[in-house]
Amino acid sequence: MQPWNTFAEGDNLDVVPLLAPAYGPFDVVYLDPPYNTGNPFAYQDKVAGRRADRHRAWAAMIRPRLEVVRDATSERGAVFASIDDHEAARLRLLMDEVFGEENFVAQIVVNLNPKGRQLGWGFATSHEYLLVYARALPTCVLEASITSKVDPGDFPLVAEDGRRYRRLPLRNTNKKFNPVTAPTMHFAIYGSPETGWVTTAPFPGALEIKPVFGDGAPAVWRWSAAKIDAQPEDLVCRWVGRGDRRRADVFQRDWLHAGRRKKLRTIWLAEEVGSTDTAVVELKALVGHLFESPKPTGLLRRILETMPDDARVLDPFAGSGTTGHAVALQNAADGGRRTCLSVNSPEPVRTGSNADLAGHTRVSDVTRARLSAVADVVGGGFDEFILDC
């Protein structure tokens, strides 16, 4: 059995195609490439040509890597790419080309720096982006919803059998759907606000109820007549409005059940997924502050939650190994069988950086150190694939 975490040192352009037959195809690929933030000199440079060169060089670096990643991704898989404003627009266009515009899923705003960048001119930028593409949208298994976000407080009512639920109008509240656009969904149903009972056939004491919008205009139901008769216990008839405006209406009893999922919005807050600051704290607790801007494991765990719990995961720009850490934490939390291949080049650490001062010579030493510590602390094992050069 494969360990939860495997590491391979090398340039992802070579390593991903080499290891994909054994470790792939990958269902989840997380890309966190260098952001091309440039150096202060490059920013002061007003020569447009130089800036364009920098973007061209970045695009030339990332394009072939997107292609090898695409070829290593499974038909059910999805690719998630973190990026900031420097290259977000270019990366989106490149991913449109490489994965196909039709496979675009979302551009999520991730609030990784809630205080906002205080240095320099302009706005205190507090977010970056997560671009999401399916390898092939029709066969992609991504579910843009998760169980951990479901708040029992959103289900305030309790049924006779103790189950929690909330009431949703059975009427379709979207004005696009009305008796003209959906004539088969406009029909009378019968209900008793006294007993709550609802059917499509009249019964003693029942009131005839037709769907109407708040302004009284005719509306349509969300459920067909057949579904209403098949699930009467999931519906309830009750009085709404007061005085002259009192009328009977029908509601769905929307149950809180085990495994219930909540749709994810396209803005992910630091309080939900963590921030760069909390990521540093996580890294520090495990191996020390050996990497400048790690991602929080919460961000990766949320990504993992949208995909099956036996996903094969690939991180070709592993850095401090956050993805591998998140895979182990998520497996430990939900009993999943995910495996993760992390790749990082033997790039030298910056002179004077914490990693340098701690005696590490390459970034890959940091990746290795963290994934090995993850195996000790969280479990799941750790293996290294040594490439013959």
Ligand X SMILES: C[S@@+](CC[C@H](N)C(=O)[O-])C[C@H]1O[C@@H](n2cnc3c(N)ncnc32)[C@H](O)[C@@H]1O
Query: What residue ranges bind ligand X (CB under 6 A)?
Result: 11-13, 32-34, 291, 294-295, 316-317, 319-320, 322, 343-345, 347, 363
Nearer to ligand X, 253 or 370 (CB): 370
- Least Å from the CB of residue 362 to ligand X: 8
Sign of the C-alpha dihedral computed for residues 220, 226, 227 and 231 taken in this order: positive
DSSP state of 353: S
- Least Å from the CB of residue 322 to ligand X: 3
- Residues 153-191 as b or e (16 or more Cβ within 10 Å = b): eebeeeeeeeebbebeebbbeeeebbbeeeeebbeebbb
- Least Å from the CB of residue 327 to ligand X: 13
- Least Å from the CB of residue 347 to ligand X: 4
Nearer to ligand X, 211 or 319 (CB): 319
d(CA 298, CA 305): 10
The helix or strand, by DSSP H or E, that contains position 55, with its residue range, turns out to be helix 48-72
Nearer to ligand X, 27 or 32 (CB): 32
- Least Å from the CB of residue 366 to ligand X: 8
Residues 6 or more apart from 157 whose CB is under 8 A from it? 164, 165, 166, 167, 253
- Local structure of 70: helix, strand or coil: helix
Q: Are strands 26-31 and 312-315 parallel, antiparallel or unpaired?
A: parallel
The answer to whether 316 touches 289, Cβ cutoff 8 Å, is no
Backbone angles phi, psi at 102, to 5 degrees: -70, -10
- Least Å from the CB of residue 134 to ligand X: 21
Nearer to ligand X, 28 or 343 (CB): 343
- Least Å from the CB of residue 122 to ligand X: 22
d(CA 189, CA 225): 8
Nearer to ligand X, 27 or 365 (CB): 365
- Least Å from the CB of residue 291 to ligand X: 5
d(CA 373, CA 270): 25
Angle (CA) 313 319 322, round 5°: 55
- Least Å from the CB of residue 55 to ligand X: 17
Nearest position to ligand X, beta carbon: 319
Nearer to ligand X, 6 or 172 (CB): 6
Nearer to ligand X, 252 or 367 (CB): 367
d(CA 162, CA 234): 14
Nearer to ligand X, 34 or 241 (CB): 34
Nearer to ligand X, 12 or 331 (CB): 12
Q: Is 54 left (phi over 0), alpha (psi -120 to 50) or beta?
A: alpha
